Amino acid sequence: MTRRAAARNLGARSRALHNGVAPFWAVLFLLLGACCGELLNEWMWPPRFGAASEVRAKRVRATARACRFLWRDYDPRFLFWEVVDLGRKLFLASLVLFIQTDTGSSKLLRLFVASVVSALYLAALALARPFERDDDLYLACTANLLLAYCFISGMVIQLCESAAYEDMCKALVGFESARGASEFVIALTAAMLAASLLVVLFKTVSAVRAPTIRLASSGRPPVLELSPECHFHGFISHAWGTGQDQTHTVVRQLQLLLPGVRIWLDVDNLEDVGRLEESVADAMTFLVFLSAGYFKSFNCRRELYAALGSNRPFIPIQEADVDKGGASIEALKAECREHCIETAPAAYPSYSGPDEMLARVFEEAEPIVWVRVNAFQLESLKAIALRMLLHSSYYASRPAELAAGVMVPRQPGPCAFSGPVTILVCRSNTGADGIARELKTAAGEAHGSAAADTDAIVMIRDAEEALEGADAAPLSGHVVFLLYLNDKTFLDAGGAVARLVQAAMDRRIAIAPIHEQEPARGGVPFRNFFQQTPQVLQQPPYKLYDTVAVSLYPSVEHRRVSLRLVLRSMGAVPCDAGPLWRRWQLLRRRMAVARLVQRSPAEPRQEPLVQP
């Protein structure tokens, strides 16, 4: 048999095999198309099965749960995107082969069309941003960029390898031969793959290092189990005028700290204002964000009565900052007595009056103070999360797991001084001596030191005796002047506070200002101190308020953070810090002290003006 005859026989067998397989391929392709159509029907017309509407309302039932793998990565507005992506994959993997079926493998049209489709899909991804997480969006964009690059590289290699395009390879691409083009494509592909791996690695490390709430007893993430009759872990109620921005922050931050937590928020879940009562009953806990005007809102009262009627645990959160729409507990209670007076509301016909509401909102559990500043905000969020977990069905039978509370890894912990420290306190600075003793106790608790050891490390001395006393013992080691800012600071009759602050700064002693936040303890807005403080201390060379004052909050959780921040401002370092970090903190402290007073010692001393 000649070679030509053998080739004819091979070709005939190939055609016969192709003709036999073609019907099966057509059937499978039609089935795949039918499945895609059914999927499109389900997501584009939600009333039929209701899966999309369930996901958008965050009420996942059996239908939506069965196809969770299709929608869990997408934003609720783009639940159809999986169908779009599937269509792109079908086109690039199969339909593109129908372009020039006879000679397409040796032409550029298929590669050109595939490149255009990939580029258009990449642009659509970047504009629509259909994914719920940015990490998924970056990964999808990177993958499609690599795919478009592969098709373009294929066009370059096709131009240079084909004998018909030999002259065009040099003229259009710039390579002498196909080998040079192939080497360039391989090198560029390796570089892009390396860049993609670096992006993925960076995102993975960022995700691992992202702060999340864990159980202090075991270090594990908490179990966010929902009871069978509820679809949300919490319902947050707030007044639009004074609490909208804060509650949005609470929910978004809790979603970051507790991945998987589901909190009902009006802007995300409200579809019908007439079904507020149903939404309250659909959550395991009822979060009340207390701000000025909350009890005046009719819808807020509806939610309160619904929570009473469904016997949901109350988690009160108080906005205490008046400038941000907050109010004191006394003002909120008075508002509650005035407005929560409905008789037999529909959601709770057995309502007995304002006293019942006051007991559930204010007396059942102490309101959590909402503080929006850095580490203080984290403490507020931890307190909210802990109360939500305590009321969950899972931990109701396992209270010992929450006995130690919750924590966030790499959160600033206890601080300690590396050497002796002297804290100067002015007797005329009302309350400063008590704060100094709290700081001394906090420094001792860092290592579990005994009282004698703490006395050797932290010494509290009277500032007037130490700075102006004739027989005073010389100051040695690290010295800090504690300035407690409240409504009486710098208003003492003799002007001793201003005089001693100036004397301390003249001797290059660091000032540690602490701003009281509790009105009952003399807390006032910081702007008041610009009127109370003598001008000489606000102007060069002193510029007292260039040093940021640490806010001092009354609640136990926030006060612990305040004391730790004050200790760090005095030069203490975290107990878990390494030797390099301790050296760096020591260097920073010395640099700060060196910048306190920039005038020469010979410059005459200005006397502070005593406020009348």
Residue with tokens 């101190």: 529
Residue 600: pLDDT over 80: no
Residue 312: pLDDT over 80: yes
Tokens found for residue 171: 């003229």
> What is the percent of the chain where pLDDT is above 70?
77
Tokens found for residue 405: 């509370």
Residue 368 to residues 276, 329, 499, 557, 595: CA-CA distances in angstroms?
24, 11, 39, 10, 39
Q: What is the pLDDT of residues 192-228, one digit of tens each?
A: 788 878 877 877 776 666 788 999 999 888 998 888 8
Q: Which of 93-107, 376-390, 484-498 has the lowest mean pLDDT?
A: 93-107
- Within 13 Å, how many C-alpha atoms sit on residue 286's CB side? 29
Residue 37 pLDDT level (bands cut at 50, 70, 90): low
Q: Does domain 232-407 have CATH number 1.10.10.1590?
A: no
Which parts of 103-217 fold into alpha helices (H)? 109-128, 134-161, 166-168, 178-209
> Could you tell me the end-to-end alpha-carbon distance of the chain, in angstroms, rounded to an integer?
122
**How far apart (Å, rounded) are the C-alpha atoms in residues 191 and 154?**
17
Q: What is the pLDDT of residues 221-276, one digit of tens each?
A: 899 888 888 889 999 999 999 999 999 999 999 999 998 899 999 988 888 888 89
Residue 612 pLDDT level (bands cut at 50, 70, 90): very low
Highest mean pLDDT among 36-45, 169-178, 194-203, 259-268: 259-268
Residue 286 pLDDT level (bands cut at 50, 70, 90): very high
Tokens found for residue 459: 């010494």
- Once rounded to an integer, what is the mean pLDDT over residues 3-18? 56
Q: What is the pLDDT of residues 513-549, one digit of tens each?
A: 999 999 889 999 999 999 999 999 999 989 999 989 9
- Please give the model's pTM, rounded to 2 decimal places: 0.69
Q: What share of the chain is helix, strand, coil (3-state, %, to 5)?
A: 55, 10, 35
**How far apart (Å, rounded) are the C-alpha atoms in residues 578 and 417?**
14
Tokens found for residue 354: 């304002």
**How far apart (Å, rounded) are the C-alpha atoms in residues 422 and 446?**
17
Q: Where in the chain is the domain with CATH 3.40.50.10140?
A: 232-407
CATH annotation of 415-594:
3.40.50
CA-closest candidate to residue 232, choices 307, 159, 174: 307
